[in-house]
Structure 1
Amino acid sequence: MVKVLENPFYYLDNFQQVLQWIAARYDDLLDNAERAFLAQFAALPQPSRALFVRMAMRKGVLFRASKLDYPEIGDTAAACAPLAELGWVDREPVLALDDVFAVLQKPELALLFALQGADKAARKADQLAMLRERHADALPLAGWAALTGGTAPPDTIYHMQMQPLCDRLRLVFFGNFHQDWSEFVLSDLGIYQYEKVDFPPSARGFRTRADIDAYLALHACRERFANGEPPLDVLHDLPSADGNEWLTSRRHRLQFQMAQHLEKSQDWDGALALYRDCPYPGARARAIRVLEKSEAPDDAYALLRQAMAAPESDAERQQLLRMAPRLRRKLGQPKEPAAPAAPVVRLDLALPMPAEDWWVEGVVRDHLSGETCPVYYVENALANSLFGLLCWDAVFTPIPGAFFHPFHHGPADLHAADFHARRTAQFAACLAQLDDGRYAETIRRNFAAKFNIQSPFVYWGALDEALLELALACIPASHLRLWCERILADIAANRSGFPDLIQFWPDERRYHMIEVKGPGDRLQDNQLRWIAYCAQHAMPITVCYLQWAA
């Protein structure tokens, strides 16, 4: 923390950096009040600016002056005076009963409301419930004392009036509400390093002020849904987000989640209507399932046949193949012969249980590994890292809705259905290197130049130069292309499910993947899909079943 603490106003500098960033890139999306805020903030004394940022970065909008005691700011009341003159902070706010309970401690509440006996000893929540029956008032703190005849604490309550504007500016900068000001600190400390991405005007996530309003409306709908409001009530207020692919994708995801809620509540009609109107991945398969649950097998089977003609992904195809036999039975149709699966090699091992701490993949790794044929535990790390290093430039291509600020762990639209489609040319250029041998040098170069920079694909902690060189020497470019193409086909589903272990024979320039299952374990859906894909394309893979020797 030394690096941050050397500058006691680090948080103010970070906030001002955000304002400068927004002014330089989004001035045309600001209204007059927001532009006035930027100008007025810059003209404030440093202590006032610092106090404003301290409040803006804390939770809530009500603060006690006694809790805003910061050495670098000094006199809190003096620092607050210019903020109050601008109307940004109210130093005598009207407080509802719930507000009073939020800012005062239990002993202070007992004095303010003159509580005695059992009422004084009751839990704070019970005191609030009791007093709600007596007080529907909203008064300044001194007014509450006058009303109750009690004693208010010798403190001032500040109401931060500008939080909605600060939230809007934070959204414009980060492009979301899950990141906050701590990103600056993590970067300053060197804990996280981020790829430097160009931010041309054409790549802005928010292109119009209406885009920002649509995001805020979507966020409000998401909050209402999360807080238990009926989905169909929330649905009426969902903004269309037309013309912005990134926002449209977020809308579809929320619609899918609301449909899932209706399905769990057995509101078949409501769920079906939302699923049918939602292009989010998985919605069509859920619509088929809802039709089946609602005793409409004919409609379910018709939609299944339509989906089977053009599955949206391997994951959907897997679901459809499981539902089809059940629906055919319900309709009295004959059983269809299953398509023959590509054979997968099986290895059964019976090994003594280690006396020390162990994990099944490690036991199998140690058993199979040899001096000339080392085995590594890689699971999803190796394939994703090779993909991420080869396709680094494509992943970090600045396109609208992908990057908003310098603190990106990856593109904001990474899991959007059109992620690949929006970068087709860039990914094609990266994968073309697999055809002429350039890929190995690109991977090595990015491994060195980008080391420890945040990436949604590269597992820096699991990859070293020795493993990288073995992989480049032993895995054919044609196999690496197949891995990359499948990851791109469905990033959300296909980034996981890779076999646990990989074994190399460097003298023979070959490799073998091994999925390990311990006693009682079974293959998961995404593992089954990867195993089938590897077997289909003649990539060497084995499923190892470990049992403990008696």
Structure 2
Amino acid sequence: MPLPPELYYLSNFRTALAWVGERYADLLTTDEQLFLRDFAAIDWPAQALLVRMIMRRGVHFRRSKLVYAEIGDTEAAAAVLLARGWICDRAPLEASEVAALLRKDEMLAQLPLTDRRSTQKKSDLDAQLQSLGLPAKPFSDWCPALEDSLYTLQVGEFCDRLRLMFFGNLAQDWSEFVLADLGIYRYEPIEIGPESRGFRCRQDVDDYLQLYRWRERFEAGEPAETILHAQLAFSSDNPHLLSRHARLQFQIAQQLERQGRLDEALALYQGCAHGEARWRQVRVLEQLGRPAEALEQAQRFSSQPHSDEESQRLERALQRLQRKLGVALTGRRQASAECRFELTLARPEQGSVEFAVRDHLHDNAAPVHYVENTLLCSLFGLLCWEAIFAPLPGAFFHPFHSGPADLYRDDFHARRQHLFEDCLALLDREEHGERIRQRYHEKFGIQSPFVFWEGLDEPLLEQALLCIPARHLRACFERLLRDLKANRAGMPDLIQFYPAERRYRMIEVKGPGDRLQDNQKRWLAFAAEHGMPVEVCYVSWDET
């Protein structure tokens, strides 16, 4: 029997539990299977109260704050949850926990404070309470005269594990359902079979949670060495988990390097599969005063670079090390000449330097748009929509994916190579415009990792299709596919169209004192190689 609309959150939670029960039955423990069965068996008011508590922050909830019109008698609903052991009303609280649950006037009236002056800040009362060194005890023992009680969620961590199985990550939460219900987020409908899931075995789930806990401890400022040795023993055959582990290793190594613990950092970089770990090895060897080893590593890595970014960094290191060691300079590429022009503009009262240049250059016959990385990425996303959202195993495993789960894995393109080739072949036949327009109208507003709907209106789309040659689009899209994460950034800020002549130019804007970034230099070199019209505009302010 369907629930009324105001219980949308309970409907959504039931859907998620059914999804997990159907697809992960073989991964669930006995306790998890019992929870799914018992949750379905209790009355809906108790179900609704539990879901409300799960979706709120923290684990402690005062009865007086649990007021929901659609549930009604929350005390009766709580009694059902207490009987199941899913919540508790006698959980011991530390002094800081009870202080966080009380208002200032309640602290003065209920707690054993020695100084009860009302002029004190609540933080002062909290500090005073903690200084007493009182043992942890239930809320009712802290505040025996307060006409209220406290419920503590006992299944929060357990439900987080179910949420992880459903979404495949802990970054998404139950609000995804609400945003989709309200039409705020729309997702591409994907045919998801029972075999499509984010975790193949129970160990994958446990490993994800272990990595998540290590990352939480590291980001909370825990010393690197307390995490370092534990994570060195981590192993998995799951590519996604290995990628997460490599990122954590790299961040720990970076912290060691910043702390001057260079030998430890080097050892960690050498065993790390993160994409930036190789050139960091070269830098650390330099810092350790071992330039010959650094040069040897740089030469070995540069013979087969993993990305354009790595190639650029290694080339610089080679030049630097060869000069330091007095070795003949080799392998230096000729930098492409920068096509530049200068403007002196009145300093705008508000807005960025990019907008000031856009407004200055704009003409009805030659419109200028601020696009940065959005336009070319959007055209790529529309043309290659079918390839990006292909329902391959492990790519989609719940209804709320804004893009495939393996988007930034090394094998993303290889797994879909024939699909991307079919999409890019439309450019060769000059049939891309029809496909892009069709997808624009069919998919407008649907979440995509590449299409920026808010910055892509029809006039801009039509001008781009009219003025940008198909061969330039193909070159840009092929470059994107070489490294989707790195190469989607660094594109010029502005684009100017000349519709009457069916041509365009892109413009990178640099304000006073601003310099080209590495990814922008790589983009400019690429554009020059393919004959794409790109200019750099250097702006100075007219202070008169």
State the shift of 1:80 in Å. Answer: 0.8
State the shift of 1:284 in Å. Answer: 0.8
Q: Deviations over 1:130-179 (max 9, x none)?
A: 5556545333334446xxxxx44221111211111111111111222222
SS at match of 1:183: helix
| 2:340–2:536 contact (8 Å) kept in structure 1 | yes
Distance 1:356 1:153, change over 3 A: closer
Unaligned runs of 5+ in 1: 1-5, 146-150
Give the aligned partner of residue 391 of structure 2.
398
Distance 1:289 1:441, change over 3 A: same
State the shift of 1:460 in Å. Answer: 0.9
Give the aligned partner of residue 262 of structure 1.
256
- Which amino acid in 2 is paired with 1:297? P
Distance 1:193 1:241, change over 3 A: farther
Please, what is the CA RMSD of the aligned residues?
Answer: 2.5
- Mapping 1:165-184, distance limit 5 Å: 165-184=158-177
State the shift of 1:321 in Å. Answer: 2.4
The yes-or-no answer on 1:88 pairing with 2:81 is no
Give the aligned partner of residue 13 of structure 1.
11
- Which amino acid in 2 is paired with 1:406? P
State the shift of 1:253 in Å. Answer: 0.9
State the shift of 1:39 in Å. Answer: 1.5
| 2:370–2:495 contact (8 Å) kept in structure 1 | yes
SS at match of 1:491: coil
Choose which of 289, 292, 295 in structure 1 pairs with 2:286: 292
Give the aligned partner of residue 343 of structure 2.
349
| 2:319–2:332 contact (8 Å) kept in structure 1 | no
- Mapping 1:5-154, distance limit 5 Å: 7-117=5-115, 123-125=121-123, 127-132=125-130, 134-135=132-133, 137-144=135-142, 151-154=144-147
| 2:373–2:492 contact (8 Å) kept in structure 1 | yes
- 104-113 or 77-86, larger mean C-alpha shift: 104-113
Give the aligned partner of residue 3 of structure 1.
none
Distance in 2 between residues matched to 1:543 and 1:77, nearest whole Å: 67
State the shift of 1:301 in Å. Answer: 1.3
- Mapping 1:419-458, distance limit 5 Å: 419-458=412-451
Choose which of 453, 458, 463 in structure 2 pairs with 1:460: 453
Give the aligned partner of residue 321 of structure 1.
315
Identity, in percent, stands at 51
- Which amino acid in 1 is paired with 2:53? M
SS at match of 1:17: helix
| 1:497–1:530 contact (8 Å) kept in structure 2 | yes
Q: Deviations over 1:178-227 (max 9, x none)?
A: 22222222111111111112222443211111111111111111111112
State the shift of 1:121 in Å. Answer: 6.3
- Mapping 1:473-484, distance limit 5 Å: 473-484=466-477
Give the aligned partner of residue 273 of structure 2.
279
| 1:110–1:116 contact (8 Å) kept in structure 2 | no
Distance 1:103 1:534, change over 3 A: same
Distance 1:380 1:485, change over 3 A: same
SS at match of 2:369: strand
State the shift of 1:306 in Å. Answer: 1.0
State the shift of 1:519 in Å. Answer: 2.7
SS at match of 1:511: strand
Distance in 2 between residues matched to 1:547 and 1:59, nearest whole Å: 49
State the shift of 1:123 in Å. Answer: 5.0
| 2:49–2:78 contact (8 Å) kept in structure 1 | yes
Give the aligned partner of residue 211 of structure 1.
204
Q: Deviations over 1:283-324 (max 9, x none)?
A: 111111111112221211111111111111111122122223
SS at match of 1:347: strand
| 2:494–2:506 contact (8 Å) kept in structure 1 | yes
Give the aligned partner of residue 486 of structure 1.
479
Distance 1:339 1:36, change over 3 A: same
- Which amino acid in 2 is paired with 1:200? G
| 1:396–1:411 contact (8 Å) kept in structure 2 | yes
| 2:113–2:129 contact (8 Å) kept in structure 1 | no
Give the aligned partner of residue 148 of structure 1.
none
Unaligned runs of 5+ in 2: none
- Which amino acid in 1 is paired with 2:414? A
